[in-house]
Structure 1
Amino acid sequence: MLITWSGFTSVGGMNTDLVDALPVSLKVIGLPHVGYDHFDWEAIKKRGVIMCNSPGMSDNDVADIGLHLILSTYRSTSLFESTLRSQKNAALARRVVLNFDQDTGRADPGNEPMDPMKYVHGHRVGERVVTSPAGQRVGIAGFGGIGRALAKRLHVLGMTIHYFKRSQLSQKELKSLEGIPLVRHESFESLAKESDVLVLALPLSSSTRHIVNDKTIGILPAEARVINVGRGPLVDQAALLRGLKSGKLSGAGLDVFEHEPIIEEELLSRYDVTLLPHIGACTQKAVERALINSLENIKNVVVDGGHGIHPI
């Protein structure tokens, strides 16, 4: 069975009832993506069905989106784009951000004429100074293919790379990162304390659900940023909003969401959050690679009598 990207999402995923209805002849399920948290894996396994996913097919594509989100949170590009579209004037767009409201995440131009002496070149948003990512510490939680691809990009920007991964990197993985100084952390909490920008590239499990919450936001450095290119429920979005309103967080970049495909109105209305509709892996080449990999997984089981190239 080849399951496409949207397969079974409209009915809440492949749960136990659906698994029980699968034909006894089914031997293998091929997924053209990495995540499988919306599949009842235990029930599938009990049926003796092999399920394979497609890891590594879009690591660079997701890392590109991660890089975009990080740059946006540092340079406040979503906010500046919104003011430019509303003001229709480049000079006014830069000045309006001085009226940034921390509580709403918006820059209200107000009804009064702006003070001509309060000119700004884009180096401030409200009382906050706009900074470059160079020299900042990025903490990458989940240092698989996506995390390592992102580390290479951020090293070029001059960022210090910290990461959390339960297992040690292999010699092959270390060689691919040769020349990039790395700081490994033994725990997620240790990583958070050292992360000016925290990037989530983790799978979703019972131990990682809401791994970003009020407690972890509290131990992040002042004015930290949170980026999620992993799975939506890694972040407690209510806690994220509290962090933004309080000023503890200076921004966030999200390609995935806790209640996807529904996005909370409060997130949509804030311009200190850069939002993308889960497009990290969505390039034509990545789609082709994932589909070919899925078919090769199925062939390995059905034709060659194997256990799949990428069995879960």
Structure 2
Amino acid sequence: MAERPKILVTQRVPDVAYPPLETIGEVEANMEEGLIWPYEELLRRGPGHDYIFCLLTDQIDARFLEACASATPRLKMVANMAVGYNNIDVEAATRLGIAVSNTPGVLSDTTADLAFGLLIAVARRIPEAERFVRAGKFKGWGPLLFCGADVHHATLGLIGAGRIGKIVAKRASGFEMRVLYYDVYRLPPEEEATYHLTYAPLDELLRESDFVSIHTPYLPSTHHLIGERELSLMKPTAYLINTSRGPVIDEKALVRALQAKQIAGAGLDVYEHEPAIEPELLTMDNVVLLPHIASASYATRNQMALMASNNIVAYHEGRRPPNLVNPEVLG
């Protein structure tokens, strides 16, 4: 009888993830909620597993993959419970014949909801006003009390028009917003019409938008896509929203732009050196800061966890994983 495969789950994930894995193999799991193993601990535990179920906060680099590829049993697959996979050295995995999968699609609506929530929160100063009330400072209505910016009929600029960007555009239509977008690949005319999108070069988008929302993947080409020059092009009344990846924004440049009142504010769910945040941002009332929760609804996280497990099960059963990032490993 063949030995059951060994599966490592690196962090505490929704309960729905475990039964499919336990059906096919022996599961070793980090069950302490919120605990992220340091890299050296991950490197110690990883080798000797057939499959690894990981998350975006796990560093799956070439050194780790090589150690797992040279161990017995040999690592066959890394299943990432995230749409992004910049935490994994996919090139090294492919060279070593290790499959990599992700969990796209299921989090798009939930992330778009949060992006729009951030936009409204920072525009209408909702967190700032809520802190004011909790501090016992509310003494009655006033004509200038926490006046903010209107969202309806404003211009929204989307950097990235993939799944999430297009869904944000759908949300914006309910607020009768004009929506510009910039992407490396322009959408077909019929998609632009469906989502009421108008293409604009990046500089033009930055100059014209009242809100700029980032929905691009993190790649070498998007590192610090928004830096000092780009921020200087924005209106002094404009807001920057980021629910994509932190390093897309030069965080120090953002701090300087906010301090100089080059832009009106920002709403951030991700950070350049996450979980570290530029200290100045923590002191600013015109910045809304969230702890990377864009996909954090029960339904969505359950779907993501189950999708990651199903990718492993499919590979184990000799089927093509539904969300395989590097199909060339299958030959």
TM-score band, normalised by shorter chain: 0.7 to 0.9
Alignment TM-score, normalising by the size of structure 1 = 0.81
> 1:62-81 maps to which residues of 2 (within 5 A)?
62-81=111-130
Aligned residues of 2:10 and 2:37 also touching (Cα < 8 A) = no
- Alignment equivalent of 1:242, drawn from 229, 242, 256: 256
- Give 1:245 deviation, angstroms: 1.2
- Alignment equivalent of 1:174, drawn from 169, 182, 191: 191
- Alignment equivalent of 2:86, drawn from 6, 15, 37: 37
Number of corresponding residues: 276
Query: What corresponds to 2:300 in structure 1?
Result: 286
Aligned residues of 1:209 and 1:234 also touching (Cα < 8 A) = yes
- Give 1:208 deviation, angstroms: 0.6
**Partner-residue secondary structure (3-state), 2:222:** coil
- Alignment equivalent of 1:193, drawn from 175, 187, 207: 207
> 1:1-312 maps to which residues of 2 (within 5 A)?
10-11=38-39, 13-23=59-69, 25-91=74-140, 119-122=142-145, 124=147, 130-169=148-187, 174=191, 178=194, 180-185=195-200, 187-306=201-320, 308-312=321-325
Alignment TM-score, normalising by the size of structure 2 = 0.76
Q: 1:258 to 1:214 in 2, by over 3 A?
A: same
**Partner-residue secondary structure (3-state), 2:205:** helix
Q: CA RMSD in A?
A: 2.4
- Give 1:274 deviation, angstroms: 0.6
Q: 1:156 to 1:2 in 2, by over 3 A?
A: farther
Query: What corresponds to 1:97 in structure 2?
Result: none
Aligned residues of 1:27 and 1:49 also touching (Cα < 8 A) = yes
**Where does structure 2 lack aligned partners over 5 or more consecutive residues?**
1-6, 13-29, 31-35, 40-57, 326-331
- Give 1:170 deviation, angstroms: 5.9
- Give 1:294 deviation, angstroms: 1.4
Worse-matched range after superposition: 161-170 or 241-250 = 161-170
Q: For 2:64, give the aligned amino acid.
A: L
d(CA) in 1 for partners of 2:160, 2:244: 9
Worse-matched range after superposition: 278-287 or 5-14 = 5-14
**Partner-residue secondary structure (3-state), 1:51:** strand
Query: What corresponds to 1:101 in structure 2?
Result: none
Q: 1:164 to 1:5 in 2, by over 3 A?
A: farther
Instruction: After superposition, give the CA deviation of every residue in 1:86-116 in whole Å (9 maximum; x if it has no partner).
Output: 343243xx7xxxxxxxxxxxxxxxxxxxxxx
Which contiguous aligned blocks of 4+ residues in structure 1 show a shift greater than 4 angstroms?
A: 1-9
Instruction: After superposition, give the CA deviation of every residue in 1:38-60 in whole Å (9 maximum; x if it has no partner).
Output: 22222111111110101111111
- Give 1:159 deviation, angstroms: 1.0
- Give 1:265 deviation, angstroms: 2.4
d(CA) in 1 for partners of 2:97, 2:204: 40
- Give 1:196 deviation, angstroms: 1.4
d(CA) in 2 for partners of 1:5, 1:206: 27
- Give 1:298 deviation, angstroms: 1.9
d(CA) in 1 for partners of 2:212, 2:324: 30
Instruction: After superposition, give the CA deviation of every residue in 1:121-141 in whole Å (9 maximum; x if it has no partner).
Output: 4364xxxxx221111111111
Q: 1:144 to 1:5 in 2, by over 3 A?
A: farther
Q: For 1:254, give the aligned amino acid.
A: L
Aligned residues of 1:253 and 1:273 also touching (Cα < 8 A) = yes
